[in-house]
Amino acid sequence: MSGKKAKRIGVLTGGGDCPGLNAVIRGVSKACIGTDGMEMVGIEDGYQGLIEKRAFPLDWERVSGILTLGGTILGTSNTANPFKWAVKKTGDSVEFADVSDEVVRYIDELGLECIVAIGGDGSMAIAKGLAQKGVHLVGVPKTIDNDIWGTDTTFGFDTAAAIATEAIDRIHTTAMSHHRVMVIEVMGRYAGWLTLSAGIGGGGDVILIPEIPYDIEKVCAAVLDRSRRGRRFSIVVVSEGARPKGGEMVVKQTVKTSTDPIRLGGIGQVLARAIEEGTGLESRVTVLGHLQRGGTPTPFDRVLSTRFGVKAAELVQNGASGVMVALRGDDIIAVPLSDVGGRMRLVSPDHPLVDVARRLGTCMGD
């Protein structure tokens, strides 16, 4: 959808933090300010800033020097949803309200002619809903999980994969020294991209992802086979969303006020116990957790984030709305938010990376 060129632009970062957020803020802001003299407004803490009416001016100086910084200078929230906002909590019960009309009014009060929403699948679904209410929006796909529909890669993924791979490299030496089975639990929610990439890059002997339910007997057999062949250690890389055949994912906690209340975690401990019981081999667990989200983005993510930001600015300048920037091959394109919101990009069991792992002799649990 297109219309008149916007002159006052809002930008927000929603969902979990990840490396490259500041690079996008910098890219879109400098391109908008420098190319067409637009005025930029930073919205605090994602959609929560729109709900609670918190915003501030962004100028050239404020977005300078932030390219390499992790996190986001705007702040973020992974519980704020204008269509399902927690307004009251009594004991274990939570009452939600649709405050999206109030958000639309606040956007009008700020004089924003377009909003650049940087976020993951949940943020894009919210953006889709606001676009249907007439808000001009351009989305930018962010997540270390790499699970957003419509783009080959999200920014933040490359950095998280590099961090996880380095962690596996370091754990390798401990595993070899102590002759242990080392289980490394990796983020990624319901998608296995991060675990698969880090597992291959770090030389994992067993890689378990949500899309391929595992058989614990086959996992134990693979570990024992290595032991019999004189390989006195094994590296098991498991996604937080992995589950056994016929079983469920391990849920760490439920956050009732969140739009995505399920918090996964704990599969590493469950798996290590099962392996130790099934093989008699000492097993230990490392949960990488939020370590994967922080720090300086890789050069790839800095460049991709900047390209996404500049493309978003171009779309805004051309009056586009209801679209998300995306990487397709080497090109940055625009895809309709209506095609993106509410969908997830998962690993196909016959994906080439899965085939690569299998050809290397990696156990995928099935």
The residues annotated with a catalytic role in the active site are: 145
Dump strand ranges (E) for 167-212.
181-186, 206-208
Name 264's Cβ contacts closer than 8 Å, sequence gap at least 6: 189, 240, 241, 249, 250, 251, 252
Cα–Cα distance, 85 to 90 (Å, whole number)? 15
Q: Please check whether residue 137 is in contact with residue 131, taking contact to mean a CB–CB distance below 8 angstroms.
A: yes
Q: Please tell me the distance from the alpha carbon of residue 142 to that of residue 76, in angstroms, as a whole number.
A: 12
HEC per residue, 137-166: EEEEEECCCCCECCCCCCECHHHHHHHHHH
Distance CA 172, CA 167 (A): 9
Q: Which residues of 167-187 are buried (b: 16+ CB within 10 A; e: fewer)?
A: bbeebbeebeeeebbbbbbbb
| CA 143 to chain CA mean position, Å | 2
Only one residue has tokens 């050069």, namely: 299
Quickly count: other Cβ atoms within 10 Å of residue 34's Cβ: 11
Q: Are strands 251-254 and 137-141 parallel, antiparallel or unpaired?
A: unpaired
Give the burial string for 73-106 (b: 16+ CB within 10 Å, else e).
Answer: bbbbbbbbbbbbbbeeeeeeebeeeebbeebbeb
